[in-house]
Amino acid sequence: MTDRIRVEGADPYDVVIGAGAIGQLRALLTDDVERVAVVHQASVAGVLDLVRDQLTGIDVIAFEIPDAEAAKTVATAAKAWDCLASNGFTRTDVVVGLGGGAATDLAGFVAAAWLRGVRVVQIPTTLLGMVDAAVGGKTGVNIDAGKNLVGAFHPPAGVLCDLSVLDTVPAVDYAAGLAEVVKAGFIADPVILDLIESAPQAALSPSGPHTAELVSRAIAVKAAVVGADLRERAAVGPGGLGREILNYGHTLAHAIEKREHFGWRHGHAVSVGLVFAAALAREAGILDVETAIRHKAILTSLGLPVSYPAAAWPQLRDGMSIDKKTRGRTLRFVV
């Protein structure tokens, strides 16, 4: 059984969620597709075979990339474009992003720039990829100055979240992905928080009783936001759903990732960032103490980090100065 969430906007698309969702890949391709380039990590070789099974009669070009953030470089993107060129990739062909969030980010950026934009289908294979990176049309790579500073908005033709592949995700990575689920709960859907609090250990398992609901609810939150504000142009405020709200916890998180040379998992950095943003809002008098404490309690129950060495603050502050939400000299936080 699958769930289907519509992401509205100028280029609407569906996110399909459920075991066996990869089986709907062919339905997302038009009849004139001759080539599909699958941008993938080595760790998803088994899933790549499932993708190939859906593409009989189509020339499948497999482009392997490094794991995690090491893949998100201009150099890797350039190699991908060279691969497309050597295989005669045209505007009617399709890129598929297969793997974690880094794979879908890179695949989307490659598709956005090739011939000024070709279609991309995202098939995230991690929890983080499903609830965050693959949905929303943000694509990009990292440079020495910071994370995701080079990229483009490029909505996919569709997103297939096959829950059956989550069993292959290492436990530490699965837990890290839950930070983005918790973020969605605090932004707009407290039922997510209730479900996790009712059974934290169950939430940590892909076979848990609430997995499908947690994934669907988190994606629904993001879909509602990006459908109304793809390019982060709306104002964030009480009752508003401007896209910047999805950066809750991310201002500090990206600075931590940069300081750690992307050695920290994104979800771990977001967990610390969420606790920091809640504390900031509490100190500013716009968030009650109980809700701030709830941030830390839920994330701790999932085994996620909730603090970072205070001695690192000068470097973190410098890193945050080029955050995408910064305007002029003013550092802005989502709270």
Please tell me which residue in 154, 210, 259, 266 is annotated as part of the active site: 266
How many CB atoms within 10 Å of residue 36? 23
Nearest to 14 by CA among 117, 215, 157, 118: 157
From the list 42, 34, 134, 123, the residue with the least C-alpha distance to 84 is 34
Distance CA 215, CA 208 (A): 12
Write the DSSP symbol of residue 318: H
Tell me, yes or no, if 250 is annotated catalytic: yes
Active-site residue, 329 included? no
Active-site residue flag, 116: yes
Catalytic residue flag (residue 72): no
- Please say if 260 is a catalytic residue: no
Residue 243 a catalytic site member: yes
Candidates 69, 180, 244, 257; catalytic one: 180
Per annotation, catalytic residue among 116, 233, 261, 329: 116
Q: Are the CB atoms for 249 and 281 separated by under 8 Å? A: no
Which of 138, 259, 294, 295 is catalytic? The answer is: 138
Q: Which of 254, 258, 282, 294 is catalytic?
A: 254
Q: Which of 72, 142, 147, 232 is catalytic?
A: 232
CA–CA gap between residue 121 and residue 126 (Å, rounded): 16
Q: Which of 35, 119, 154, 243 is catalytic?
A: 243
Other beta carbons less than 10 A from residue 184's beta carbon: 23
* Annotation marks residue 290 as catalytic: no
64 has catalytic annotation: no
- Distance between CA atoms of residues 164 and 20, nearest Å: 7
Residue 148 falls in the annotated catalytic set: no
Buried b (16+ CB within 10 A) or exposed e, 68-89: bbebbbeebbeebeebbeeeeb
Q: Please identify which of the residues 183, 217, 250, 268 carries the catalytic annotation.
A: 250
DSSP strand pairing (94-99 vs 158-161)? unpaired
Packed helices 211-228 and 190-198: angle between N→C axes, nearest 10 degrees: 160
Catalytic residue among 72, 147, 183, 222: 222
Is there a contact between 153 and 146 (Cβ–Cβ < 8 Å)? no
40 given a catalytic annotation: no
Cβ-contact 103, 40 below 8 angstroms:
yes
| Catalytic residue ranges | 116, 138, 180, 222, 232, 243, 247, 250, 254, 266
